[in-house]
Amino acid sequence: METKKVALITGANRGIGFETAKQLGEKGISVIITSRSLQSAETAAAQLVAEGIDAYGIKLDVLKAEDRVNVASFINDKFGKLDILVNNAGIAPKDTLFVKKTIETKADEFQEIFETNFFSIVYLTKELLPLLIKSDAGRIVNLSSILGSLGIHSLPENPIADFQVLSYNASKAALNVFTIQLAAELRDTNIKVNSAHPGWVKTELGGDEAAPMSIVEGAKTSVGLATIDNDGPNGKFIHLGEELPW
């Protein structure tokens, strides 16, 4: 079976996910790029292979149980273990994060956002946990957001007060709870679980003009948490090595 480290990154055909896979691959880690489209996943993987990275493209719609099972089977058959899971895939409301909306949030928006940003992550992690347990140093990185920080939102001078989108912010807060509780349950294993705030990055979600951070910078937090040693953080909320308030 494979002895080098193996990482799976969801939603990795573009943006922060693709850059995360690229940076992990440059460290000699085998990377599995997933996308809802097999063609997109394979095209992205081929780009990394052309750069000398050991990369594989797999179809994974995180909302589909069949896809989650198939990915676990592929990893088990090909590698026999999984060392790194980066739960990167996520969505924002269709009318963007720049429209304040609390009590007016509709049921279908809550359903769509929570299914992708929270429930699918819990279900995928559960499916892959037996493979992560086989790793000598399993790492789970949940892509959260500072917009999920209750501590920051509750400040009298809230620096993110312009981003009051209940569906998205609540989904990231829920994801942070998952990080805390899963890290606690796995504290006696070789697995570490952390939430990552990538920063405000020039992506399709973050916006090309207003966002101050490049995609290369935005991937650094995920890569850092995916490769921490045994003395690294566990059950924490991190941005570029600094701990954020829950």
- Count structural domains, the chain: 1
Does 105 fall in a domain?
Answer: no
Tell whether 155 is covered by a domain.
Answer: no
**Residues of the domain holding 137:** 6-93+118-146+171-243
pLDDT, tens digit, for every residue of 156-173?
999 989 889 999 999 999
Asked if residue 112 is part of any domain, the answer here is no
Taking a C-beta distance cutoff of 8 angstroms, is the pair 82, 31 a contact? Answer: no
Q: What is the pLDDT along the chain (246 residues), one digit of tens a residue?
A: 457 999 999 999 999 999 999 999 999 999 999 999 999 999 999 999 999 999 999 999 999 999 999 999 999 999 999 999 999 999 999 876 678 889 999 999 999 999 999 999 999 999 999 999 999 999 999 999 999 999 999 999 999 898 899 999 999 999 999 999 999 999 999 999 999 999 877 555 544 555 557 889 999 999 999 999 999 999 999 999 999 999
Among candidate residues 91, 164, 84, 166, the one with its CA nearest the CA of residue 131: 84
How far is it, in rounded angstroms, from Cα 183 to Cα 234?
6
The CATH number assigned to the domain holding 229 equals 3.40.50.720
Confidence (pLDDT) at 203: 53
What totals of helices (H) and strands (E) does the chain contain, helices first? 8, 8
Report if residue 123 sits inside a domain: yes
| Residue at 12 is within a domain | yes
Options 5, 59, 81, 172, the catalytic residue: 172
pLDDT digits (tens, 9 = 90+) for 11-60: 999 999 999 999 999 999 999 999 999 999 999 999 999 999 999 999 99
Q: Has 168 been annotated as catalytic?
A: yes
Cα angle: 99, vertex 220, 190; to 5 degrees: 110
Annotated active-site residue 172? The verdict is yes
- Helices 120-133 and 65-78 sit at what angle, rounded to 10 degrees? 20
CA distances 215 to 46, 86, 90, 168, 180, Å, are 20, 16, 16, 21, 27
Beta bridge partners of 243: 238
Q: Which of 5, 168, 192, 236 is catalytic?
A: 168
Q: Is there a domain that residue 40 lies in?
A: yes
| Structural domain contains residue 24 | yes
Note whether residue 39 is domain-resident.
Answer: yes
